[in-house]
Amino acid sequence: MSKSTTQSEPQLPPKWQLIAWQKKDEQYARIPSEWRLDSLPAPNITNYADIPRQCGLLSKEELEITEQYDATGLADAIRGRKLKCVDVTRAFCKRAAIAQQLTNCLTEIFFNDALKRAEELDAHLASGKQPLGPLHGVPVSLKDTFKVRGYDASIGLASLAFKPAKENSVLVDCLLNAGAVLYCKTNIPQTLMALDSHNNLFGRTINPLNTAVTAGGSSGGEGALLAIRGSILGVGTDVGGSIRIPAMCDGTYGIKPSWERLPYAGQEGGALPGASKIGIPASAGPLAHSMRDIELFFSAVAQQKPWLVDPDTVPLPWTSASNGKRKLRIGVVRRDGVIDPHPPIVRILDEVKTKLQKANVDVVEMDITALFSQCQSLANAMFGVEGGNAMFDLLESANEPLSPWLATRLKRKQPVELPKLQQLHGRREQLRKEFLKVWEDQHGEIDAFICPVAPHPVPPIDRYNGVSYTSSFVLLDYPAGVVPVRTFTKEDMHGEMPKTKPLGSWDKANRELCK
C-alpha cells in the first residue's frame, strides 16, 4: 500500500489581516514600555475614567496638568511661564497612551515628534520671542482623516495603510502655525459611515465612561480620548453627526460649523477628488472640555487666514458673539417628525428650558416638524449619490470585508444619474429657502434653537438608531453643536413611549430601544 503524498496548501491569512497585524505591531511599539499598564481592568469594571489617576503611571504634576486645566487655561499657563510645553506634552502623551490601552482610541502615534516640537516651543519662549500663536504649546489630537506629513491617513482601511502622507491637511498647518503640538490621531469606523467606531485595521474603540455603550462615530476615537482626558482639544469631522454624536456619547462639547467656515482641504475620506461637490460636504470642527476652548480653536484657526490656501474657506475673521442689549430668544424644538424622543430626553429639554428662563432668556416653543421631517430622507439620498464605489474599490483591493454592522447595510450601487442629482439639489435648495422662515415669528427674531442630539440616551454598542437630529443640519448647512447638560442616571430611565402608532421604521426601532 502506498500513502498519498498530496497535501493541501496551507491557507494564508487574507491580505488585509496581514496588514492589520503589522499596523497594530507598529502602533504598540510607539508606546514607550514605561508607559504601559501592568494589567487591564477586570471584566466587571465598566467605567474607566478613574484608571489613569489610579494606575500609578502619571505623576502628581501630570495628573494636575491633564485634569485641572482646559485648553485656554493651559495656553495661559504656558504663556505666563507657569508650565513648560514639554511637561504639558509629556503629560498628555502619557495619558493618551493609557487611553489607547484602555479604549483602543488611537490610530497614528507620534509622541516623539510631539516632544521634540514642545522642546522647540519652549526654546522659542526662552529666547524672549512672543508665542507663535494662541495655541502655543497646547496639545491637539486629530481624527485619522487629517493628513500629517510622514504618517498614514488610512481611515482604518488596509489598502491605505503604510502609505504616509506627503503633505499636511490645510487645517493641520493652521494648527501648527498657531503653536499647537500634534501628538496622535484617533480611531474611526470603517468607511466613515457608521455610528460606532470599529474597523478591521485598528479594531473597536470603547467608551471609557461606560464600556457597555457606544463611544459614537465617526469621530469616536476623539470622543473617547477626550472623555478620559487623554486630550484637551481634539479635531473631528462631521457630515451626518460625526462630531456631535461622539460629543454626546462621551460627554464633551463639539461643534460642526457650516462647511466653508473652516478649511477642509487635504482630508482622506476614501472618496475621489471632487466627490463632496456632488453630494453633501463635510465640515471639520473641534471637540473640547469647555465652550471657551471652542472659541479659542475657531479664533486660532481664523488668525491663520486659511482662505489663502483653501479656496472653499470663506475669508471671514472670527469675532466673539455679542448680544448687545437685546434679550436672547431661544427656540425649543422637541421633535423632528421622524423619530420621537424617549421620555428622558424630553425631561432634559424641560430642564434646559427652565434654566434658560431663569437666566432671563426668552424661550420660544417651536414646532417645525413640517420642514424638519423632510430632511432625513433627502440627506440619505444625497449621501449615496456616488454609490459607494470608490470605498468598495479600496476594500476589495485588500480583500477586506465590511465590518459586521455595515455588512447588512452597505453595498455597491450605481451612481445617481445627472437628472436625478439635479433634482436632489433642487429639493435641497428649496428646503433651505423654506427653513429661513423659522427664524422669525410674530414676536421677532429667534437667535438659535435647541433640540435633542439624538432621540435616545447613549445606546449600547452598534445600537445607535437614527441621525435625523444631526444630519439634517448638515443638509441645511447650519452650524450646530453639542453642549453637555448632565450625566444620565438610573433615576432618569423611567417613563414609556406614547401608545400611538410609530411614525415609521426609524421611530419603531427607537421605541424598541426604549424598552
* Residues making up the binding site for substrate: 192, 218, 239-242
The DSSP code for 130 is P
Instruction: Say if residue 437 is exposed, middle or buried (CB neighbours under 10 Å; 0-12, 13-18, 19+).
Output: exposed
- Sign for the pseudo-dihedral over CA of 364, 365, 370, 374: positive
Separation CA 379–CA 374 (nearest Å): 9
Separation CA 112–CA 166 (nearest Å): 19
Cα–Cα distances in angstroms (integers) from residue 166 to residues 169, 228, 237, 411, 431, in the given order: 10, 31, 21, 31, 41
Separation CA 231–CA 248 (nearest Å): 16
Parallel/antiparallel/unpaired status of strands 198-199 and 181-186: unpaired
Non-local CB neighbours of 95 within 8 Å, separated by 6+ positions:
52, 58, 62, 66, 228, 229, 230
CA trace torsion 354, 342, 340, 236 (10° rounding): 80
What's the full length of the chain, in residues?
Answer: 515
Q: What are the residue numbers of the active site?
A: 143, 218, 242
Q: What are phi and psi of 329, to 5 degrees?
A: -120, 115
Separation CA 260–CA 319 (nearest Å): 16
SS percent in the chain: helix, strand, coil, step 5: 40, 10, 50
Separation CA 187–CA 159 (nearest Å): 16
Separation CA 401–CA 399 (nearest Å): 7
* Residues making up the binding site: 192, 218, 239-242
- Sign for the pseudo-dihedral over CA of 76, 81, 83, 85: positive
Cα–Cα distances in angstroms (integers) from residue 426 to residues 36, 419, 422, 423, 439, in the given order: 55, 10, 6, 5, 22
